Structure 1
Amino acid sequence: MKDGNLDDVDREILYRLQRDARHTSSGDIAAGMDVSASTVRNRIQRLEAAGIIRGYHVDIDYEAAGYPLYTKLVCTAPVDEREELVRRALDVPGVVAVREVMTGDENVYINAVGRDHDDLNRIGRELSGLGLRITDEVLIRDEYVRPYRGFHDRERPD
């Protein structure tokens, strides 16, 4: 299954969970499809076991939560140390997401939050101490996400 052999039922389940996993039950998903709620639950368990569904995440307004500084740090890591540095960066307080990039010199993207500039400076120092070289910093106003339309039968490109 992990090699991309998803059928229409799997893709529709993924689409609906991406739209709103918290308020979407297996019964809700089944009602819009020609399958039972137990089939949906079994499919979700298979998708989780296969590592296709890796987790369920909350979309947080960091500013409203008291962390007005949301930043993306663009970093460079030696290729042979990149994976380990990415894992260690996740342990730095204030780091909320890390992306490992496979091409280019700027091969690690880190999202971090802080209450003030001192927080961001501390995060930068800790990441540098791990061996990451910060090449750029960008303050993020907000981030918007949407489900991948290719999973939704009616919108999937041919």
Structure 2
Amino acid sequence: MAADGLDEIDYGILHLLQQNARATTPVDMAEQLPVTDTTIRNRIERLEDDGIIEGYVPIIDYEKAGFPIRLQFSCTAATEDRQEVAERALELPQIVKVDEMLSARENIQALAVANNTEEVNEITSRLDDLPLTIERERLLRKTRGRPFDSFAGDVVEEHRPGDRQE
């Protein structure tokens, strides 16, 4: 067993969900993991109930969706207020992601999408109304990501058909 009672099957499920949760069914996962699809459904439900899986979010190409401007704001909030300020920032229109950093400066990173410079000015003004200091604004060209591959371990790669456990 690993941290928080997770085992290699749980990590395998997390790995496969990260790759493509929308198109990967428990039946598909059962072909790659040494357990049945029923076991996988039960494990996913437990992972959701335990708050390990918090949701399923689509990856959106904002430029293709009509929002060609993506701005990354680096901001500083008082350390004791960081969590509350991050939550308030995420509630603002056109802010799509907020990262709370463990640092004294630039401890809030906010990603905003906009269609034009007027919207950029409005977003900046709304952020500026929060108890934080905008340290820098940067235009984001492209974001790339991938699943955290350490979840897969050996269970996904070593599975052979017929090797099932309940």
TM over 0.5: yes
Consecutive aligned runs of 4 or more in structure 1 exceeding 3 Å deviation: 1-5
Using the TM superposition, give the Cα deviation of residue 142 of structure 1 relative to its aligned residue in structure 2, in angstroms: 1.2
1:154 Cα deviation (Å)?
Answer: 3.6
**Shift of residue 74 of structure 1?**
0.2
Equivalent in the alignment of 1:86: 86
- Whether 1:115 and 2:115 are equivalent positions in the alignment is yes
Residues in 1 aligned to 2:116 and 2:94: alpha-carbon distance in whole angstroms? 11
Is residue 24 from structure 1 mapped to residue 24 from structure 2 by the alignment? yes
Partner of residue 124, structure 2: 124
Unmatched runs of 5 consecutive residues or more in structure 1: none
Task: Report the Cα offset of residue 155 of structure 1.
Answer: 9.5
Count the aligned residue pairs: 156
Distance change (3 Å), C-alpha of 1:42 and 1:155: closer
Rg comparison, structure with higher value: 2
TM-score, normalized by length of structure 1?
0.93
Identity %: 40
Structure 2: which 5+ runs fail to align?
A: 157-166
Letter matched to residue 18 of structure 1? Q
CA RMSD of aligned residues (A): 1.8
Counterparts in 2 of 1:2 and 1:117: CA distance versus 1, 3 Å: farther
Q: Which residue of 1 aligns with 2:11?
A: 11
| Equivalent runs, 1:30-109 vs 2, <5 Å | 30-109=30-109
So what's the TM-score if we normalise by structure 2?
0.88
Q: Deviations 1:89-143 (Å, cap 9, x if unpaired)?
A: 1111100000111123110000000001111111111111011211011111111
Residue 79 of structure 1: CA displacement? 1.2
Partner of 2:153: 153
